[in-house]
Structure 1
Amino acid sequence: MFPTPIAQASKPVQWLYRTALPLSLVIWLLPLIAIALTSLRGPADILSGNYWGMPTQWQVVSNYVSIFQGTPLARYIVNSFLITVPAVAGAVVLSCLSGFALGVYRFRLNLPVFFLFVGGNFVPFQILMVPVRTLSLRLGVYDSVLGLVLFHTAFQSGFCTFFMRNFILDLPRELIDAARMDGATEFQIFRKVVLPLVRPAVAAVSILIFTFVWNDYFWATVLIQGDHAMPVTAGLKALNGQWVAQWHLVAAGSLVAALPPVLIFFLKQKDFIAGLTMGATKG
């Protein structure tokens, strides 16, 4: 049923694994290495077609200084935080409440409602472009930070509810019944019994949703037009000049834009792994 561990596999399989794994890793890292090198190049290298060789003109500091001095990248990063943090908080709060309702209470429409949350994750988001844009115009939140916050909160709540409901469903029912016998209200059960037990799951889903929302490009270009609310993923195109493509600045800006989710993952990786493996063992 399960694959044989590499340590127990035959010698040819072990040799193939030890050869293929580093090779696959290098191939996967090649685009990232190219972007890192491009962020250190001068424009002469780009114009001459030197994309993969070592830079002939090193601009280690000047490229990164230029993207903050000559472009609105700092504003884009602030916008991304203004969009991502409230959207993550809203989606996680709503999903914890809905996950508690679907995981604790037994009612006739429990499964249909749960499948409604799950089914939304299978809808291709491209087909929602026109109705979501029309709805944002009618609500008066088009081309605003609030519009993206509301959309991401609603759109990510389905996945978060699916995630949280399964964790809450695995909690011992005896704990909830004991709290009710002690006179605790439903909100007290949710706040003092359920939430502390699913804290690793909350941390894991928060990191995932932060990455999803921060890296969004499609909806940022659909719902935002002006620089006043543009997140960094969609704003990177502004790092190009009007007549000349400044790919060395775009590469530097891309690396800066990727830092927040990477740092959050490495700072919270213990909570992330604990949330994903929560309930994997018994006892």
Structure 2
Amino acid sequence: MFPRPIEQTAPAVQWMYKIALPAALVLWLLPLIGVAATSVRPASDLAQGNYFGMPSYLAFENYADVFRNTPMGKYILNSFIVTIPTVIGAVALSLMTGFALAVYRFRGNLILFFMFVAGNFVPFQILMVPVRDLTLSLGMYNSYHGLALFHIAFQTGFCTLFMRNFIKALPYELIEAARVEGVAEWRIFWFIVLPLMRPAIAALSVLVFTFIWNDFFWATVLTSSPEAQPITAGLSSLNGQWVAAWHLVSAGSILAALPPVLMFFLMQKHFIAGLTLGAVK
């Protein structure tokens, strides 16, 4: 049973909705507004305890100081080096595993699919010690490829679930018709299934890009120096030993949030199409 549209409710309920919605929106945006305000607040205001009042002046030079006084550029580059291969690897693997699990009927298909799904229910905190020991033993600790390979392995389960269900919803008659014509399996995948999955690929790429870019836990567990740390782990190192440079941390946080936001707006059309495809069937 679906909830009634707000237009069909009583006038009093509609007025309460119109009042509660902006209030909830402001409450939700309040932390982000606070970070944005702190990012242009001079350090002298923070030293005097002026955290929420009007700043004495707008210190836009904080954004330049982040690059001049900290390795922010290196952190951003590290994030791209880790995130882009992870997105490509996880999506490419999930395309093939999703195709195999959705199209081929073999013994153990459902069990194998459940194994992919089961990995998503494992609390990642309990994997911290074994994963860190594994990267140390393989010589991949504090490296780009170590962090990227782990993210690919950890994200493939969710991506396979996404892709398998998407391919399962495609018309199976297309594949059967291609097989009748004698088309090879890899050509069916490349020329028939893959073009139909562009909205799903775009939606999944945006999701995985956001997950990996915003990851903080594994970035701090598997890296320890600016040479390999992504921006999420690098932001925590902007504070000095005795002085908390919150104006620089806030400016760096705003800069760190820009790539996922820009990617979403660039891929918004395909992202929404991928999530809503088949919703009205």
TM-score normalized by structure 2? 0.98
Which residue does 2:165 correspond to in 1? 166
Q: Match for 1:39: what amino acid?
A: S
Which residue does 1:48 correspond to in 2? 48
Pairs aligned (count)? 281
Which residue does 2:194 correspond to in 1? 195
| Structure 2, unpaired ranges of 5+ | none
* 2:123 is the alignment partner of 1:156: no
Q: How does 1:128-143 map to 2 (within 5 A)?
A: 128-143=127-142
Q: How many Å separate the matches in 1 of 2:131 and 2:137?
A: 10
Q: How many Å separate the matches in 1 of 2:76 and 2:204?
A: 22
The worse-fitting range, judged by mean Cα deviation, of 184-193 and 77-86 is 184-193
Cα deviation for residue 238 of structure 1 reads: 2.5
Q: Match for 1:33: what amino acid?
A: I
Q: How does 1:227-242 map to 2 (within 5 A)?
A: 227-242=226-241
Q: How many Å separate the matches in 1 of 2:183 and 2:51?
A: 65
Q: How does 1:217-232 map to 2 (within 5 A)?
A: 217-232=216-231
Q: How does 1:199-278 map to 2 (within 5 A)?
A: 199-278=198-277
Residues 171-200 of structure 1 show CA distances to partners (whole Å, capped at 9, x for unaligned) of 111100011111111111111111111110
Which residue does 2:70 correspond to in 1? 71
Which residue does 2:116 correspond to in 1? 117
Q: Match for 1:79: what amino acid?
A: N
Cα deviation for residue 138 of structure 1 reads: 1.7
Q: How many Å separate the matches in 2 of 1:173 and 1:88?
A: 28
Residues 195-252 of structure 1 show CA distances to partners (whole Å, capped at 9, x for unaligned) of 1111100100000000000000000110001110000000012322332111000000
Q: Match for 1:4: what amino acid?
A: R
Residue 242 of structure 1 aligns to a residue whose secondary structure is: coil
Q: How many Å separate the matches in 2 of 1:24 and 1:49?
A: 28
Q: How many Å separate the matches in 1 of 2:78 and 2:263?
A: 18
Cα deviation for residue 12 of structure 1 reads: 1.7
Q: How does 1:87-126 map to 2 (within 5 A)?
A: 87-126=86-125
Residues 133-177 of structure 1 show CA distances to partners (whole Å, capped at 9, x for unaligned) of 111112211110000000000000000000000000011111000
> 4+ residue stretches of structure 1 with deviation over 6 A?
none
Q: How many Å separate the matches in 1 of 2:36 and 2:270?
A: 29
* 2:3 is the alignment partner of 1:3: yes
Cα deviation for residue 57 of structure 1 reads: 2.9
Cα deviation for residue 257 of structure 1 reads: 0.6
Which residue does 1:84 correspond to in 2? 83
Q: How many Å separate the matches in 1 of 2:263 and 2:96?
A: 25
Q: Match for 2:266: what amino acid?
A: L
Q: How many Å separate the matches in 1 of 2:115 and 2:40?
A: 48
Cα deviation for residue 13 of structure 1 reads: 1.4
Residue 237 of structure 2 aligns to a residue whose secondary structure is: helix
Q: Match for 1:9: what amino acid?
A: T
Over aligned residue pairs, what C-alpha RMSD do you find?
0.9
Identity %: 64
Q: How many Å separate the matches in 2 of 1:52 and 1:29?
A: 15
Q: Is the 8 A contact 1:71 1:238 kept in 2?
A: no
| Structure 1, unpaired ranges of 5+ | none
Q: How many Å separate the matches in 2 of 1:137 and 1:179?
A: 48
Cα deviation for residue 52 of structure 1 reads: 1.6
Q: How many Å separate the matches in 2 of 1:50 and 1:121?
A: 44
Q: Match for 1:58: what amino acid?
A: L
Which residue does 1:58 correspond to in 2? 58
Q: Is the 8 A contact 1:45 1:57 kept in 2?
A: no
Which residue does 1:23 correspond to in 2? 23
TM-score normalized by structure 1? 0.98
Q: Match for 1:45: what amino acid?
A: D
Q: How many Å separate the matches in 1 of 2:280 and 2:195?
A: 19
Q: Match for 1:144: what amino acid?
A: S
Residues 36-89 of structure 1 show CA distances to partners (whole Å, capped at 9, x for unaligned) of 0100011121122222222113211x1011000111000000000000000000
